[in-house]
Chains A and B, each alone.
Chain A
């Protein structure tokens, strides 16, 4: 177990370096000078040079990267934004809760949708419900989140006035007068729904397939032969096994999505990580982008580890060695 953890942590470090390094190299390849942006519109060549020296872009890329890395490792400091000199730690710190709200709430949303629909359509294949849910899956997978977001915003926000179209309210310590759990959930409802559609569709399909497959397992027949009633067969024998891969997928998808749900955040103007990263990209603001990427990488690494540990716990056949 300890050896397993040690090996996983070493791999995590390798992954972390690979991801951040590639980002640095990509930025270096972009033919734009962040110093010019920092120096302002009317800057002279000397001004730009001074700006470049100030933000460090006059040094070779490996020096820049080494500084970035040592700052993180030694001081847990992501540096300062090129664009506005704000601390990247605080930029990411402000954006992360927004994305976390969106992703975790969205995950609950999509599981609440996908579990009953997936299970019911597996129990009644080719029924009307099954066909309807498969149509939903097709639409959910095919429709772009931007389009879904715009439609939801138009119908439920603009036309029906059921939910606000934009804005984010903090759950705790609100900076504005809009805040608290109720306002937070109220403002997040449409983003959750939008974000959840694609995943709900994918998960309905996966849960249905898993349940259908597990229903034909020999041990399910054994359970029936023992005289177990159908609800018990479903709960204790079919679902207990069919949900194993779903748990894995859920953990990995949440980890992945924490890096920023760009489309949903853009449609609903949520100041989350996705929006921050896109803004940073437009400004050639490498510290901000790297900050989001560091956070996303850590989220993925942590969630994958959690999934592995969880899996070993719920599936007795898996041993961590």
Chain B
């Protein structure tokens, strides 16, 4: 059985303008020790999916449905004190912006110790030793001294290391990383990513890695979910996705990767804007922006299912598999030139 099974997850927000369907029927699972990448544009519902799993959306205006079964228990329906036991203990989360995710008025040691003592019956001293151990594990230099520093005394990369230390401090089975490298510069991004994959081997945690960066996905993920407008467009093992992408949106993402070999005036982009989730387009949600749009796309919403012979590789697009393979080959011919 999978560690986490998300089935038909829906998260709707009531706003003054109407109901925003931020996540609208998402299904995936995460296996022990594996990394699931979730990729998509801003506002595609990646973060909300994970916040819903963690129960961190504001209660007041959120309606969630579906299931998120973690080790046999449904996270969405369990009492809040049970969920609190799981949060930070079995499932931990790292956020996008390390500059604002640590409390500015507490020393980082205090924040780490708090995370430990919320779930472990240990003394402050023991918790502090554990905190120190983790700070060393994530590569904070002179951790013995820095443990008593305040967040503002750390750089962005170092703060994200602290966040990772804080997430791993209770040996979680699942680590949700919401764009952990987006706010960091490129060299730091690579370090943090390597740190996460290294620690994954040591700690054996499964990871859900949310990103809009396909490079990050290629490097770290085992499985990939491509989200578009609150739904899953394509879900495949990472090699399949990059070798044989089936969805025009995925092609768009691959095609818009910047290339160093070609001297282009501007980057390739997917034309148009992501749709409003207040009132998403009828039929396939990608059809207004899709270069391959057909009549059926405007009326019938495509089901998520296998396009070719591989049952693990599912997608939601009406195109026939021959066309998909032909067009995918064209797109890849463009991008792989850079990769090879």
Look across to chain A and name the residue whose beta carbon is closest to the beta carbon of B91. Answer: A225
Chain A hits for B95, CB < 8 A: 218, 221-222, 225
> Using a CB-CB cutoff of 8 Å, which residues 114-157 of chain B contact chain A?
114-115, 118-119, 150, 152
> Using a CB-CB cutoff of 8 Å, which residues 222-250 of chain A contact chain B?
222-229, 236-237, 240-241, 244
Chain B hits for A222, CB < 8 A: 95, 101-103, 163, 166
Complexed CA–CA distance, A224 and B87 (Å): 8
Contact between B97 and A218, CB atoms less than 8 A apart: yes
Cβ of B323 within 8 Å of any chain A Cβ, yes or no, is: no
Cβ of B18 within 8 Å of any chain A Cβ, yes or no, is: no
Contact between B86 and A219, CB atoms less than 8 A apart: no
Complexed CA–CA distance, A222 and B54 (Å): 11
Cβ of A112 within 8 Å of any chain B Cβ, yes or no, is: no
Chain B hits for A228, CB < 8 A: 84, 88, 114, 118
Contact between A241 and B118, CB atoms less than 8 A apart: no
Find A226's partner among B100, B118, B150, B152 (CB 8 Å cutoff): B118
Given contacts A218-B95, A317-B150, contact A225 B88 (CB under 8 A): yes
Cβ of B56 within 8 Å of any chain A Cβ, yes or no, is: yes
Cβ of B230 within 8 Å of any chain A Cβ, yes or no, is: no
Complexed CA–CA distance, A27 and B131 (Å): 66
- Minimum CB–CB distance from B245 to chain A (whole Å) comes to 33
Chain B hits for A315, CB < 8 A: 104-105
Complexed CA–CA distance, A214 and B179 (Å): 22
Chain A hits for B201, CB < 8 A: none
For the residues of B in contact with A, the DSSP-based class is: loop
Categorize the interface residue count of chain A: 20 to 34
Contact between B150 and A227, CB atoms less than 8 A apart: no
Given contacts A221-B95, A316-B152, A317-B152, contact A227 B87 (CB under 8 A): yes
Complexed CA–CA distance, A229 and B150 (Å): 23
Cβ of A314 within 8 Å of any chain B Cβ, yes or no, is: yes
Complexed CA–CA distance, A317 and B104 (Å): 7
Cβ of A217 within 8 Å of any chain B Cβ, yes or no, is: yes
For the residues of A in contact with B, the DSSP-based class is: helix
Chain A, 291-321, contact with B by CB distance < 8 Å: what is the 0/1 string? 0000000000000000000000011110000
Chain B hits for A316, CB < 8 A: 104-105, 107, 150, 152
- Minimum CB–CB distance from A229 to chain B (whole Å) comes to 6
Most chain A CB within a 10 A radius of its CB, from B56, B93, B103, B150: B103
Cβ of B92 within 8 Å of any chain A Cβ, yes or no, is: yes
Chain A hits for B34, CB < 8 A: none
Cβ of B338 within 8 Å of any chain A Cβ, yes or no, is: no
Chain A hits for B84, CB < 8 A: 227-229
- Minimum CB–CB distance from B31 to chain A (whole Å) comes to 22
Contact between A225 and B103, CB atoms less than 8 A apart: no
- Minimum CB–CB distance from A310 to chain B (whole Å) comes to 14
- Minimum CB–CB distance from B297 to chain A (whole Å) comes to 38
Complexed CA–CA distance, A315 and B84 (Å): 29
Contact between B54 and A218, CB atoms less than 8 A apart: no
- Minimum CB–CB distance from B174 to chain A (whole Å) comes to 12
Contact between A227 and B56, CB atoms less than 8 A apart: no
Categorize the interface residue count of chain B: 20 to 34
Chain A hits for B87, CB < 8 A: 224-227
Cβ of B250 within 8 Å of any chain A Cβ, yes or no, is: no
Look across to chain B and name the residue whose beta carbon is closest to the beta carbon of A228. Answer: B118
Look across to chain A and name the residue whose beta carbon is closest to the beta carbon of B176. Answer: A225
Complexed CA–CA distance, A237 and B115 (Å): 13
Contact between B56 and A221, CB atoms less than 8 A apart: yes
Cβ of B73 within 8 Å of any chain A Cβ, yes or no, is: no
Contact between B115 and A226, CB atoms less than 8 A apart: yes
Most chain B CB within a 10 A radius of its CB, from A221, A226, A236, A241: A226
> Using a CB-CB cutoff of 8 Å, which residues 250-305 of chain A contact chain B?
none
Chain A hits for B181, CB < 8 A: none
Contact between B114 and A226, CB atoms less than 8 A apart: yes
Chain B hits for A218, CB < 8 A: 95, 97, 100-101
Chain B hits for A224, CB < 8 A: 56, 87
Chain B hits for A225, CB < 8 A: 54, 56, 87-88, 92-93, 95
Complexed CA–CA distance, A223 and B84 (Å): 11
Complexed CA–CA distance, A225 and B104 (Å): 17
Look across to chain B and name the residue whose beta carbon is closest to the beta carbon of A229. Answer: B84
Contact between A241 and B103, CB atoms less than 8 A apart: yes
Contact between A223 and B166, CB atoms less than 8 A apart: no
Complexed CA–CA distance, A314 and B86 (Å): 32
Contact between B105 and A217, CB atoms less than 8 A apart: no
Chain B hits for A314, CB < 8 A: 105
Chain B hits for A217, CB < 8 A: 100
Complexed CA–CA distance, A77 and B242 (Å): 86
Chain A hits for B114, CB < 8 A: 223, 226, 228, 236
Chain B hits for A226, CB < 8 A: 87-88, 92, 114-115, 118, 166
Look across to chain B and name the residue whose beta carbon is closest to the beta carbon of A217. Answer: B100
Given contacts A224-B56, A241-B105, 9 further A-B contacts (CB under 8 A): A218-B100, A221-B56, A224-B87, A225-B88, A226-B115, A227-B87, A228-B84, A236-B106, A240-B105
**A-B pairs with beta carbons under 8 Å apart, 20 shown:** A218-B95, A219-B100, A221-B56, A221-B101, A222-B102, A222-B103, A222-B163, A223-B103, A223-B114, A224-B56, A226-B87, A227-B84, A227-B88, A227-B119, A236-B103, A240-B105, A240-B106, A315-B104, A316-B107, A317-B150
Query: Lowest 5 A-B CB distances belong to which pairs?
Result: A227-B88, A226-B88, A227-B87, A218-B100, A219-B103
